[in-house]
Amino acid sequence: MNIVLLGAPGAGKGTQAAKLVEKFGLCHISTGDILRAAVRDQTPLGVKAKTYMDAGDLVPDDLIIDLMKERIQQPDTTAGVILDGFPRTTTQAVALDGMLASLSRPLDAALLIDVDSEVIVGRLTSRRTCSSCGHIGSTADGAQCPVCGGDMYQRADDNEATVRNRLEVYEKSTAPLIDYYRGSDLLVQIDGDRDQQVVFDDVVEKLGL
């Protein structure tokens, strides 16, 4: 099964992706991971992408598509893939459709983990990170990490103004993409404002896994 994963920052996409990987052996692929791996391995496409990254420029869509095509043909993707962070626009979505069709591996679903923006603001502004072990918790943990006893702190990008800006950017960029997949009858919308396991059970049912 090949899935595009959609959802705002803090909606719980990473949690659900990890559960899908663990239970069904799907390969979780993010654009950032692809770029870093290609550059690290010095593949021809990675070398090309590095020239843009070193210059501080965005890597062009066609190069990202080529990197994705290269990655999706690797052996660990045979059970299917979860694409995270790509596509980001309808232009990229159309290109992705063409690429997957050329590989005879069409997209099965666009999975949207949907959570109200005010709930996400509450989630992210209450998030706390351990300065010692990196454990991610919340204000409920208090000042000390429940794992190692280190100091818990709030990341700079978890303040309310930054969170609201990130959500605004997400809405503007992703709303057309959601409409695109809804029009293609591929959109699977899940209420993410529930217990993680309840959400996962719903994901499995609606994807027919």
Known binding residues for ATP: 10-15, 127, 194
Please give the helix or strand (H or E) that residue 162 lies within, else none: helix 160-183
The catalytic position among 50, 69, 105, 127 is 127
Q: In what order do the strands lie in the sheet with 152-153?
A: 136-138, 127-130, 152-153
The catalytic position among 23, 40, 155, 206 is 155
The catalytic position among 13, 19, 71, 128 is 13
Question: 134, 141 in Cβ contact below 8 A?
Answer: no
Q: What's the CA gap between 54 and 52, in Å, rounded? A: 6
Counting Cβ atoms within 10 Å, is residue 168 exposed (0-12), middle (13-18) or buried (19+)? exposed
The catalytic position among 69, 88, 105, 164 is 88
Longest dimension (CA), the chain: 53
Is 127 a residue of the active site? yes
The catalytic position among 71, 123, 128, 166 is 166
- Taking residue 37's Cβ as centre, other Cβ atoms within 10 Å add up to 15
Question: 126, 154 in Cβ contact below 8 A?
Answer: no
Q: What's the CA gap between 50 and 8, in Å, rounded? A: 28
> Where is the binding site, in residues?
10-15, 31, 36, 57-59, 85-88, 92, 127, 155, 166, 194
Is 71 a residue of the active site? no
> Where is the binding site for AMP, in residues?
31, 36, 57-59, 85-88, 92, 155, 166
Q: List all residues 6 or more positions away from 166 whose beta carbon is below 8 Å from its beta carbon.
A: 9, 157
The CB-side HSE value for 56 (13 A sphere, CA atoms) comes to: 0
Is 69 a residue of the active site? no
Active site residues: 13, 88, 127, 155, 166
